[in-house]
Amino acid sequence: MQLVGSDCAVCHRGITFAPEAASCPTCAIAFHLTCLSAPSTCPTCGSNFTQLTVSRAQATTAGHAQAVAWGRKAALAVCLALFATQASLIGAALVGGTATPTHVVQFLISLVLIAALYFGYGWARVWLALSSGFGAVVAFSLAWTASRTGNLGNAFFLSSLVIIFAVSFGLLLFSSRVALFLASQRSGA
Ligand SMILES: [Zn+2]
Ligand SMILES: [Zn+2]
C-alpha cells in the first residue's frame, strides 16, 4: 500500500517519509516504525509484517509464473492444433491430387504465422485469432451442409475443425494468461 499520505494507525498523524514507515499487508494499515511497541510487529494483528510482505510478494511472483506456465501450454496447444489442421488440409489435398501451388504457399504462410504466434508477435496473434474465428464460421456452415446431405464423416471432421478454431479464437483473443505468456516471450523473460 501507499505509505506516504496514509495516516499512522498508532498515532494517527500523517506519514510523510516512506523509509520511516511500514505497512501490514493483512490489515492494510500503515504506521511509523517508531510508533511500534515491538519491531516488525503489526500493532493490529500482531504478526510480523516484514515476513508477510515478503511471502505476499513471493506468492504474487509464483502466481504470475503459474499463469505464464498455463498460458504457455494453451498457446502451445493452439499452435499444435492449428498446425495439425493445416497439415491435414494440405495432406488431404496432396492425397486427393487437388493440391495447387497456392495450397502449398498457404500452408507455408500458416507455418510462419504459427511460429510467429508462439514467439509472441502480436500481429500473428491477431491474424490467427481472426482467421480462426472466420474458419470456425466457415467450418460450421460446411459441417451443417454435410450433415444435412448425410455426409457424416465430413460433418464430423468439420465439427472438430469448428471446435479447434473456436477454442483458438477464444484463447488467443480473450485469455489473459495466454497474453501474459506471449508478452513474456517478447520480453525474453
Ligand atoms: Zn505514528
Ligand atoms: Zn496486521
CB 8 within 8 A of CB 22: no
Q: Strand 21-24 to strand 29-32: parallel, antiparallel, or no bridges (unpaired)?
A: antiparallel
Residue 83: its pLDDT value, please? 94
In angstroms, the Cα distances linking 96 to 25, 90, 119, 175 are 65, 10, 34, 37
Q: Which residues pair with 23 in a beta bridge?
A: 30
Q: Which ligand is nearest to the CA of 20?
A: 1
CB 14 within 8 A of CB 7: yes
Spacing, Cα 48 to ligand 2 middle (Å): 8
Q: Which ligand is nearest to the CA of 34?
A: 1
Residue 2: its pLDDT value, please? 84
Spacing, Cα 128 to ligand 1 middle (Å): 56
Class of domain 1-47: alpha beta
Q: Which ligand is nearest to the CA of 27?
A: 2
Assign 162 to helix, strand or coil. helix
The separation between the first and the last C-alpha atoms of the chain, rounded to the nearest angstrom, is: 26
Spacing, Cα 58 to ligand 1 middle (Å): 28
Residues belonging to the chain: 189
CA atoms within 13 A on the CB side of 11: 11
What single letter denotes the amino acid at residue 31?
Answer: F
Q: Which ligand is nearest to the CA of 17?
A: 1
Spacing, Cα 122 to ligand 2 middle (Å): 43
Spacing, Cα 47 to ligand 1 middle (Å): 18
Spacing, Cα 36 to ligand 1 middle (Å): 8
Q: What distance in Å separates the CA atoms of residue 159 and residue 145, rounded to the nearest whole number?
A: 11
Spacing, Cα 55 to ligand 1 middle (Å): 25
Q: Which ligand is nearest to the CA of 35?
A: 1
How buried is 153 (Cβ within 10 angstroms: 0-12 exposed, 13-18 middle, 19+ buried)?
Answer: exposed
Residue 188: its pLDDT value, please? 63
Residue 105: its pLDDT value, please? 92
Spacing, Cα 19 to ligand 2 middle (Å): 19
> What does each of the 189 residues of the chain score in pLDDT, given as a tens digit?
789 999 999 999 999 999 999 999 889 999 999 999 998 999 999 999 888 888 888 898 999 999 999 999 999 999 999 999 999 889 988 898 888 888 899 899 999 999 999 999 999 999 999 999 999 999 999 999 999 998 888 899 999 999 999 999 999 999 999 999 999 888 765
pTM (two decimals): 0.72
* Cell representation of residue 154: 465430413
Q: Which residues pair with 8 in a beta bridge?
A: 30
Q: Which of 189, 164, 113, 128 is nearest to 181 (CA)?
A: 189
Q: What distance in Å separates the CA atoms of residue 3 and residue 78, rounded to the nearest whole number?
A: 44
Residue 135: its pLDDT value, please? 93
Return the domain boundaries, the chain: 1-47, 64-187
